[in-house]
Structure 1
Amino acid sequence: MFLWQYLTVLLLTAVQLCKAQKCDKFSDLNLGHAFIGTSFRIRLLLYTREYGSCGTLMSHTNLSAHPQFNLSRPTTFIVHGYRPTGSPPVWVHNMTALLLARKDLNVIIVDWNHGAANLNYFKAVENTQKAAANLTAFIKMMQERGASLSSIHMIGVSLGAHISGFVGANLNASIGRITALDPAGPQFTGTPPEERLDSSDAQFVDVLHTDIDALGFREALGHIDFYANGGTDQPGCPKTIFSGGAYFKCDHQRSVLLFLDSLNQTCSSTAFPCSSYSDFLDGKCLNCDRFGAAGCPVFGYDVTRWKNILVKLGQTKTFFTTKAKSPFCMTSYRVDVMIWNKDARWGYLTVKLHHNGTESVATIDHKSSQFKKYTETTLLAQFDKDIQSVEKVSLKFSTKNVCKPKYKLRVLRISLTPLERKERLLCRYDVLLEENSEVAFRPIPCEESNF
C-alpha cells in the first residue's frame, strides 16, 4: 500500500511539473493568414524572473488565476508593430530577457499578431484602436487590484508606439513611461495628437527615430526625441532596392537593435540637443549646460535619469551617430583647429587616437570645412572605439580635389575635448599637414592660458 501511495504522489508530482513547464508562445502565422486576413485577437504573455523564458497566457478577466503576476512589481508591456508576413518578431524574447536581467519586473508581451498580420496595412492601422481598447481594459483591471499606473512602462515599436499612446491617452496620461521605437509614419503623419502618440500620453515619453524618410514618423512626439544618424539611412543598411526586403525595413528595424544595446549596457550613446542633424554634425550643438551636472542625456533604457529635467523643458530633439553593428555607440570629441595659413583652406580631417596598439578613427567628411587664419574652427569627431588613455594622435588633411595642386594646412593649435567624460583637454601646437599625408604626434595637456 505504501508503494502504491508513493507512486501516486510521484505521478501527480510529475503531472504538475509538466503543467508548470507548459509555455505559451507568440502566435506564429504565415503569409496565407496575412493574405486572407484574420479576425482580431489579442494575447498577453507574461514573463517573470521566476519562470525565465517560459511565457504564461494571461486571462483578460481573472488576474487571480496567475499567482506569479505580482502587482507590487513594475510592469512593462512590449507592443510590436505591423507584421505583413505573420511571423513572430525575432527580437521580442531577447528584449524580454534583457528587461528581466535589468530589473525584477512583470514583462507582458502584447501579441496582437491576429490584427497586425495583414497585407492590407490600412486594416492593421484600424486594428491599433482595438488593441489599445483591450489593453486599456486590462490595465484598469490591474489598477483595481492595486497596481500603480506610474510603475507601468510601455515599449511600442512602429504601430505599437501609437497603440501605447492610445492606451496612455485612455488612462489620462497616468502611466509612467512610453518608449516609442521608430513610431509608424504612414497614416499618422499630419494627424492631430489624439490620433497618434504624443508627449501628453504618459508622465514621460521618449522616442527614437531611425526611418523618418520612409516607414517612420518625422516630427518630434515625446518629451525627448532621439534621431539616430539624423533619423535616416542607418549605417550598414542597404542603399539600393536590389537588396530585397532589407532595403525597406532595415532602417526601421534598427530602432529595436539600438534599444537592445542600451538594455544590454554594451555601451552608451550620448545624444546632443540640436535643431538639426546638419548643425549637430557641424559641431554647433555640443553644449549641455541646460541639463546641469547630469550632462547630455544618454539614449535608451536609462534616459529616465534625465526625466525631471526633460519634462520641465517640454520637448527636446537630440541627435547621435552610430556604427553599422553592435555595439553601435561611438565616442564623441570636440576638435578645435586654428591655422596660420595666409589664405583660407577648405577640406576634411581624419583623426586617429592610439593606445597600446589599439586605434580609433574619426573621419570628419560630411562636408568640406573652412579653416581661416587665427580663427578657431570647431568640429565634431565621432570615434568608432573609446580610447580611455590617448598615447598618440594621427591627423590627415584632404581636399578630395584630384586635379588641383596639393595644399598644406599649417596648424597653429589643435585641441581634443572628450564630450562624454571630464578629462583635461589634449593639445598640439605647430603641426604641418601636407594633403593626404598622415602625421602622428604625442598630445600634451593644453596650456591653461589658451582656454
Structure 2
Amino acid sequence: MWYLAILLCATLVSGREVCYDQLGCFVSDEAPFYHADDRPVDYLPDTRDELGTSFKLRTRDLQGAYQELSTYDSDTITTSDFKPWKKTKVIIHGFVKGSDVDWMEDMTNELLIEGDYNVITIDWRPGVIRNEYDEAVGNVRVVGAEVALLLNMIQSIQAVGPTTFHVIAHSLGAHVAGIAGAIIPNIGRITGLDPAGPYFDESDPRVRLDASDALFVDVIHTDTDPLYKLGMGMYSSTGHVDFFPNSGREQPGCDMRIIGSIIAHGRIWGGVIDYIACNHIRAAYLFMDSINSGECPYLAFHCTREWEDYNEGLCFEDTPTAQMGWLADQYAPDEGVKELVYQQNTLDSAPYCGFQYRFEVEIDDGRKAEMFKGKMTISLVGDNGQSEEIPLSPDYRMYDPLTKYLHVGVSSLNVASPSRLYLEWEYDAAFYKPWKWEFVERPELFIHRIVVDSAENQESYLMCGSYDPIEPDVPRAFFRVNECN
C-alpha cells in the first residue's frame, strides 16, 4: 500500500458509460462520482463477470458449511437455509492485495456464537486483487448495486423487511454498503469499519457511506492519518455515531517495526502488508471482539475530536457515553442528530476491550520538588486482583511542582473496588544536566495523593501515601482512605 500515495497523485482519464442488466447504468466522468480536484477517478467499473461477486450463507443449522447464493438464480435463495424469522448479518471486505479475508470467517463464527442469525459474506476480491486502488474505487458502485440486488431478492422471496438487515463492512466495503443503502431505503443498520479515506473523505454523501444510508449507521475509525503517512481510513465523521478509539490513528500494538512484523507473520510480503494495514484492519477486530466481550463494555465518551482532551481526562465528567461495536445501536441518537464523536482507549492485543481509569496526580512539596521529565505507571489492587502496570502517558512528559495532572489509562482487569495502588516512575536521563546524572544524584518525585475514577463503575477512590520522596524505579504504595492527612 505504500505505492498508493504515488498512484493517487495521477489524474485518470477514461470516462464513459456502461450499463448492466438488473444493475443499471454507470457514468464514470460526471459528478458526483467524478471531481477534477477531489475525486479524479473516472475508470469504468469492471463487468459483473470480471468482478465475480459471490455470496455465501451460513447459519447455525449448517454447522460450519455454507450455501452459495446467486443474483442470477433465485432458486439459490428459495431453496437455501435462509430463515426469514431470523435477523440477517451481511459482511463485506474492502481493499485487499492478496487473499487474506480470514477475519470475515472469524466474524461469522463470533456472530453465530452470539445468536442464531442468517450470516451472508460477500466476496468481491476479483474486483480488487487484480486492480490498483483507484480502479477498485470504480468498482464500488457496481458491487454496491449487486449487494442491493441480492437483498431486494431476499426481501421479495423470503418476505422480510429491510430493517432486519445489518451490514458490517470494512474499508472500501463500507462504501459498498453505503451504495446498497442508498438503493434500499430503511436498511436497519450499517456498521462501517474504518471506511476507506482516499477519494471518499469529505466527498459528496452520494459517493460514500453516510448517515442517510440506514436507519442507524455506526462507524469505527482506526487509521485516520493522512495518506502521506499511509493512513487509509476516513478522518471525517460519517455516521450517526463515530468512534475514534486510541485517537482513531495509531492503534496500540501496531507500532511493531517492519522486520518484527515480517517475523511475526512468517512471510516477507504478508509481514509488509500486516505492518502497513495494521491500523486499518484493527476496526474489524475491535468490532469482532465486541460481539462476545462479556463484562467488558467497550465504553466510549462523547468528546471533542482532540484525543488529547480525552486522554487527559477532560471527558469523564457529565459526558454521555456509548458502547462501541456490537451494542452501539442501543445508543442511537434522536432523529436528525448525526456524527456524534466518541473517544476511548483499548488494549494492544486481543481481547482489546479494557477497563478505563482516570488518575488525578498532584505533584506536591514545592520546597523540595523540581520540574522533571519522566513517565509514570500505576498498578491497581482490588477485589478481583492486581492489574498490570498502566502507563499514564505514552512517552516522557514534563511535570511541574504543585500542579495536578489528569491521565486516562486502560487495564485488562476490572479490579472492582480498588483498595490500594502502586506507583512507579522513571525519568528521562537526557533531560537532566550531566552533573545530575544517576551516578551523581537521582531525581526524586513528591506525590502523596492520587484520585482514581473508574469509567465503568462510575466511582471515585482517594488513595494516599507518605510524604517521603519517591525514587525512580521503586514502586510506592498508596492506600484507599476517606481523607488524606
Q: Give the TM-score taking structure 1 as reference length.
A: 0.81
Q: Is the 8 A contact 1:362 1:384 kept in 2?
A: no
What pairs up with 1:218-297 in 2 under 5 angstroms? 218-242=235-259, 243=262, 244-265=272-293, 267-275=296-304, 276-287=306-317, 289-291=318-320, 296-297=321-322
Q: Bigger CA drift: 136-145 or 74-83?
A: 136-145
Match of 1:105 in 2: 117
* 1:45 Cα deviation from its structure 2 partner: 0.8
Aligned partner of 1:41 in structure 2 is 52
Q: How many angstroms apart in 1 are the aligned matches of 2:417 and 2:283?
A: 31
Pair 1:349-2:376 in alignment: yes
- State the partner residue of 1:390: 418
Shift of 1:398: 4.0
What one-letter code is carried by the residue in structure 2 that aligns with 1:118? R
Residue 149 (structure 2) aligned to one of 137, 141, 148? 137
1:120 paired residue number: 132
Q: What amino acid sits opposite 2:298 in the alignment?
A: S
1:392 deviation in Å?
A: 3.2
| In the alignment, structure 1 residue 360 sits paired with structure 2 residue 388 | yes
Write the distance in 2 (CA, Å) between the matches of 1:201 and 1:263. 23
> 437, 457, 466: which one pairs with 1:421?
457
When residues 48 and 89 of structure 1 are mapped into structure 2, their CA distance, relative to the original with a 3 A threshold, is same
Task: State the Cα deviation string for residues 155-197 of structure 1 (Å, max 9, x = none).
Answer: 011111000011111123x111111111112222342111111
- Indicate the SS of the match to 1:319: strand
Q: Structure 1 residue 423: deviation in Å?
A: 3.5
More deviation, 94-103/142-151: 142-151
State the partner residue of 2:203.
191
Tell me whether 212-221 or 124-133 shows the greater mean CA deviation: 212-221
* Whole-angstrom CA distance in 1 between matches of 2:340 and 2:370: 36
Q: Percent identity?
A: 30
CA distance in 2, matches of 1:425, 1:301: 30
Give me the whole-angstrom Cα distance separating, in 2, the residues matched to 1:130 and 1:335: 50
Range with greater deviation from structure 2 (73-82 or 376-385): 376-385
Query: What does residue range 78-89 of structure 1 map to in structure 2 within 5 Å?
Result: 78-85=91-98, 87=99, 89=101
Picking from 34, 55, 60, the partner of 2:66 is 55
SS at structure 1 position matched to 2:299: coil
Per the alignment, do residues 381 and 84 of structure 1 end up closer, same or farther by CA in structure 2, a change over 3 Å counting? closer
Cα distance in structure 1, aligned partners of 2:51 and 2:191: 25
RMSD: 2.7
- SS of 1:164's equivalent? helix
Deviation, 1:229, is 1.9
Cα gap change, 1:44/1:137 in structure 2, threshold over 3 Å: closer, same or farther?
same
TM-score by length of 2: 0.76
Aligned match for 2:357, one of 330, 333, 346: 333
Q: Any conservation in 2 of the 1:331–1:383 contact (CA below 8 Å)?
A: yes
- Structure 1 residue 427: deviation in Å? 2.1
Residue identity opposite 1:319 in structure 2: Q
What amino acid is the match of 2:103? W
Deviation of the 1:47 alpha carbon: 1.0
Task: Decide which moves more: 102-111 or 429-438.
Answer: 429-438
Normalized per residue, the structure richer in helix is 1
**Please, which runs of 5 or more residues in structure 1 have no aligned partner?**
1-36
**Unaligned runs of at least 5 residues, structure 2:** 1-47, 226-230, 263-271, 437-441
Deviation at 1:389, TM superposition (A): 4.3
Report if aligned partners of 1:340, 1:372 keep a CA contact under 8 Å in 2. Answer: yes
Aligned residues: 404
Match of 1:30 in 2: none
Distance 1:81 1:300 in 2: 18
Q: Which residue of 2 aligns with 1:315?
A: 339
Residues 77, 359 of structure 1: CA spacing in aligned structure 2 closer, same or farther, 3 A cutoff?
Answer: closer
Number of the residue aligned with 1:300: 325
